[in-house]
Structure 1
Amino acid sequence: MSFVTSLSGLKAAQTDLSVVSNNIANANSTGFKKSSAAFGDLFAAAPTQSTRSVAGQGVRLNGITQQFSQGAVESTDRTLDLAVAGDGFFVVKGQPPREAQSYTRNGSFGVNVNREVVDTIGSKVQLLPVDANGIPTSTDPGAMIDFVLPQSDPADPDAVLSNITIADDGVVTATFSNGNQARLGALALASFVAVEGLRPMGDSHWQATGDSGVAAINKAGIGPLGSIRSGSLETANIDLTEELVALIAAQRNFQANAQAIETANNMTQTIVNLQV
Structure 2
Amino acid sequence: MSFYTSLNGLRNAQTELSVIANNLANAETTGFKKSRVNFADIVAGSASANPKLVKGIGSTVQAVDQNFSLGPIQQTGSSLDMAINGEGFFAKVNPVTGKTFYTRNGNFGMDGSGYITDSSGSRLQVLPVDATGTVTSTTPIDAQAPIVNGAGSDFVAVQIKQDGAVIASYADGSTATIGKVALANFVSPGGLLQTGGQDWQATGISGVANYNQPGAGRFGTILSGSLEQSNVDIAEEMVGLITAQRYFQANAKAIDTATQLSQTIVNLRT
Q: Which of the five TM-score ranges fits, normalised by the shorter chain?
A: over 0.9
Does 2:68 align with 1:68?
A: yes
In structure 1, the residue corresponding to 2:180 is in which secondary structure? strand
Residue 49 of structure 1 aligns with which residue? 49
Answer yes or no: is the 8 Å Cα contact 2:80–2:107 preserved in 1: yes
- Distance in 2 separating the partners of 1:40 and 1:6: 14
Residue 131 of structure 2 aligns with which residue? 132
- Distance in 2 separating the partners of 1:234 and 1:147: 21
Q: Percent identity?
A: 47
Larger CA deviation: 120-129 vs 29-38: 120-129
- Distance in 1 separating the partners of 2:55 and 2:262: 19
Residue 174 of structure 1 aligns with which residue? 168
In structure 2, the residue corresponding to 1:53 is in which secondary structure? coil
Match for 1:264 among 250, 258, 268? 258
Structure 2 letter corresponding to 1:226: G
In structure 1, the residue corresponding to 2:179 is in which secondary structure? strand
Residue 232 of structure 2 aligns with which residue? 238
Match for 1:200 among 194, 207, 226? 194
Q: TM-score, normalised by structure 2?
A: 0.97
Cα offsets for 1:91-139 (capped at 9, x unmatched): 100122x210111111111122333211122211111111223221011
- Distance in 2 separating the partners of 1:112 and 1:175: 16
Does 2:153 align with 1:153?
A: no
In structure 2, the residue corresponding to 1:211 is in which secondary structure? coil
- Distance in 2 separating the partners of 1:266 and 1:212: 49
Query: By how many angstroms is 1:149 displaced?
Result: 2.4
The structure 1 segments of at least 4 consecutive aligned residues displaced by more than 2 Å after TM superposition are 112-115
Does 2:52 align with 1:37?
A: no
Query: By how many angstroms is 1:160 displaced?
Result: 1.4
Query: By how many angstroms is 1:73 displaced?
Result: 0.8
Cα offsets for 1:191-238 (capped at 9, x unmatched): 111111111111111111111111110110111110111110000001
Query: By how many angstroms is 1:174 displaced?
Result: 1.2
- Distance in 1 separating the partners of 2:68 and 2:88: 10
Residue 95 of structure 1 aligns with which residue? 95
Larger CA deviation: 104-113 vs 264-273: 104-113
Query: By how many angstroms is 1:53 displaced?
Result: 1.8
CA RMSD for the aligned pairs?
1.0
Query: By how many angstroms is 1:55 displaced?
Result: 1.7
Answer yes or no: is the 8 Å Cα contact 2:164–2:181 preserved in 1: yes
Answer yes or no: is the 8 Å Cα contact 2:89–2:102 preserved in 1: yes
Structure 2 letter corresponding to 1:35: S
Query: By how many angstroms is 1:152 displaced?
Result: 1.9
Residue 80 of structure 2 aligns with which residue? 80
Structure 1 letter corresponding to 2:106: G
- Distance in 1 separating the partners of 2:31 and 2:63: 22
Cα offsets for 1:168-201 (capped at 9, x unmatched): 0100111211111111111111011111111111
In structure 1, the residue corresponding to 2:56 is in which secondary structure? coil
Residue 220 of structure 2 aligns with which residue? 226
Answer yes or no: is the 8 Å Cα contact 2:85–2:222 preserved in 1: yes
Aligned length: 270
- Distance in 2 separating the partners of 1:48 and 1:179: 83
Q: TM-score, normalised by structure 1?
A: 0.95
Larger CA deviation: 263-272 vs 51-60: 51-60
- Distance in 1 separating the partners of 2:111 and 2:132: 29
Answer yes or no: is the 8 Å Cα contact 2:92–2:124 preserved in 1: yes
In structure 2, the residue corresponding to 1:241 is in which secondary structure? helix
Answer yes or no: is the 8 Å Cα contact 2:113–2:147 preserved in 1: no
Residue 13 of structure 2 aligns with which residue? 13
Residue 210 of structure 2 aligns with which residue? 216
Residue 252 of structure 1 aligns with which residue? 246
